[in-house]
Amino acid sequence: MTTDPAPRRPTLSARTAAAAALLCLAPLAGCSAVFAGTSTLLGKDSLVVGVKADQPGLGLETSEGRFEGFDVDVALYIADHLGVAEQDVEFTGVTSAQREEVITGGEVDMVVATYSITEQRKTEVNFAGPYYVAHQDILVSADEKDVDDVRDLEGMTLCQGEGSNSANRITEEKGIAAELEEEPAYGDCVDRLADGTVDAISTDDLILAGFLASDPSAFRLVNAPFTNEKYGIGIAKEDVAGCEEVNRAVTRMYQDGTAEDLLDEWFGETGLDLVTSVPQFEGCG
User: Tens digit of pLDDT per residue, the chain (285 long)?
Assistant: 444 444 443 333 333 333 333 333 333 333 333 333 447 999 999 999 999 999 999 999 999 999 999 999 999 999 999 999 999 999 999 988 899 999 999 999 999 999 999 999 999 999 999 999 999 999 999 999 999 999 999 999 999 888 777 888 898 889 999 999 999 888 899 999 999 999 999 999 999 999 998 888 999 999 899 888 899 999 999 999 999 999 999 999 999 999 999 999 999 888 888 889 999 999 897
Nearest to 136 by CA among 157, 153, 112: 153
In a domain, 274, yes or no: no
Nearest to 112 by CA among 137, 139, 82, 138: 82
Together in a domain, 110 and 160: no
Together in a domain, 53 and 125: yes
In a domain, 30, yes or no: yes
Residue 96: what pLDDT? 87
| CATH number where 140 lies | 3.40.190.10
Together in a domain, 263 and 146: no
Together in a domain, 121 and 204: no
Residue 110: what pLDDT? 98
In a domain, 278, yes or no: no
Residue 166: what pLDDT? 83
Distance, CA of 210 to CA of 271 (rounded, Å): 11
Together in a domain, 92 and 6: yes
Residue 53: what pLDDT? 94
In a domain, 62, yes or no: yes
Together in a domain, 55 and 185: no
Together in a domain, 189 and 253: no
Which of 199, 221, 243 is the last residue before a domain boundary? Answer: 221
Together in a domain, 122 and 143: no
Together in a domain, 237 and 202: no
CB within 8 Å of 12: residues ≥ 6 apart = 20, 38
In a domain, 284, yes or no: no
Q: How many domains does the chain have?
A: 2
Nearest to 60 by CA among 213, 198, 233, 202: 213
Give CA angle at 51 (191, 269), nearest 5°.
60
Together in a domain, 249 and 169: no
Residue 156: what pLDDT? 96
Which of 221, 238, 258 is the last residue before a domain boundary? Answer: 221
Together in a domain, 140 and 249: no
Domain that holds residue 154: 136-221
Distance, CA of 199 to CA of 271 (rounded, Å): 22
Together in a domain, 260 and 123: yes
In a domain, 273, yes or no: no
In a domain, 277, yes or no: no
CB within 8 Å of 94: residues ≥ 6 apart = 50, 51, 52, 53, 102, 108, 111, 113
In a domain, 9, yes or no: yes
Nearest to 150 by CA among 70, 204, 222, 210: 222
